[in-house]
Structure 1
Amino acid sequence: MNDNAEIAQQVRRWLEDVVIGLNLCPFAHQPNKLGRIRIAVTDAADEEALLEALQEEMSLLDASAEEDTETTLLAAPHLLDDFDDYNQFFDLVDIWLREFGWEGTYQVAGFHPDYRFAETAADDPGNLTNRSPWPLFHLIRESSIDRAVASYPDVDGIPARNIARVSALDGDERRRLFPYLFG
């Protein structure tokens, strides 16, 4: 198994090469450039421990100024390998956000090596927009989302543009950007 530093480096490379490099998230470049994206790796081996890790990360965000840490990517390399299990875990995350009073303050978005949008084939190129080297939980401040949406001219066009971008990648580009899918 990879150690946590190596896992964090793989997530950083994915963030910079895929998310920012392909401009899948036009809002990620600036916080990354300013060092405001925290990448954390949890050793959680069950869902309860993962919820505790998410709580710790959310508490860290609560305790930090947005100018210091705007968002967190939490990698969970030891569980939720199965995408259906990962996807169902988000039901617990939604409950957890409500229980801790973080609903409306934070959102949690998902990325997974086998990410699959509803009603798409497993090999649909559009799924690449959310495929990451490890199961990831993106903890996002609602205030960041509000500012980004207000300043971007075509937020609704982002998904279609992203699908077109990853669909246009040739086989060599896909193998270079998503090596974990071709292991």
Structure 2
Amino acid sequence: MDDLIDIEQQTRRWLEDVVIGLNLCPFAAEPNRHGRIRIAVTEAADEESLLAALQEELSLLDSLEESETETTLVAAPFVLDNFDDYNQFFDVIELWLREFGWEGTYQVAGFHPDYCFADTTPDDPGNLTNRSPWPLFHLIREASIDRAVASHPDVDGIPARNIARVSALGPEERRKLFPYLFG
């Protein structure tokens, strides 16, 4: 059980120090400040168990008001440690969202310790924007995305700003912010 608590704490540190601290997601600070970002750690060790855990979390989000829990990060430390397998799993998630009628209500975004954008090399600093301590699944309410997009002056510019921000990090900053990568 201590390991699960450590995983949750590491995920929270990543959220606060990297995602919010570097302003990679300009929409995360407010819900975090108000305790509306849930972090769940699943013990799933295979894809079927992981889907069950994701279903449980989406059902929980369905049952809660957005003012109580806006979004959830699900850490999956015991499954999909290979990035290619993780990335392919999103095809299953898309089908699954349609099957359960959650398409248009929720989106699932991904973060992974070995995240690598298409047409980049694994050591490209831009990949740091989506590198997390564990395979993560970000369950996002579509309504929340719609409000964020409507309120931000330049949503399309966020990825380029994020890549510039993480590319500008010095070696010490990288080791401090990403100890699981640069230990």
Measured after TM superposition, the shift of residue 182 of structure 1 is 2.0
Gaps spanning 5+ residues in structure 2: where?
A: none
Gaps spanning 5+ residues in structure 1: where?
A: none
The answer to whether residue 75 in structure 2 is matched with residue 75 in structure 1 is yes
Which residue does 1:33 correspond to in 2? 33
Query: Secondary structure in 2 aligned to 1:108?
Result: strand
Which residue does 1:131 correspond to in 2? 131
Measured after TM superposition, the shift of residue 180 of structure 1 is 0.2
Q: Distance in 1 between matches of 2:104 and 2:48?
A: 23
Which residue does 2:98 correspond to in 1? 98
1:32-79, Cα deviation, whole Å (9 max, x unpaired): 000000000000011000000000000000000000000000000001
Which residue does 1:122 correspond to in 2? 122
Cα 1:3–1:140 shift into 2, 3 Å: same
- The code of the aligned residue for 1:168 comes to A
Q: Distance in 2 between matches of 1:54 and 1:81?
A: 17
Structure 1-normalised TM-score? Answer: 0.99
Fraction of identical pairs, as percent: 80
How well do the aligned residues superpose, as a CA RMSD in angstroms?
A: 1.0
Which residue does 1:151 correspond to in 2? 151
- The code of the aligned residue for 2:157 comes to G
- The code of the aligned residue for 1:26 comes to P
Which residue does 1:177 correspond to in 2? 177
Cα 1:44–1:21 shift into 2, 3 Å: same
Q: Distance in 2 between matches of 1:127 and 1:148?
A: 23
1:56-114, Cα deviation, whole Å (9 max, x unpaired): 00000000000000000000000101000000011110010000000000000000000
Structure 1 runs of 4+ off > 2 angstroms?
A: none
Which residue does 2:66 correspond to in 1? 66
- The code of the aligned residue for 1:34 comes to H
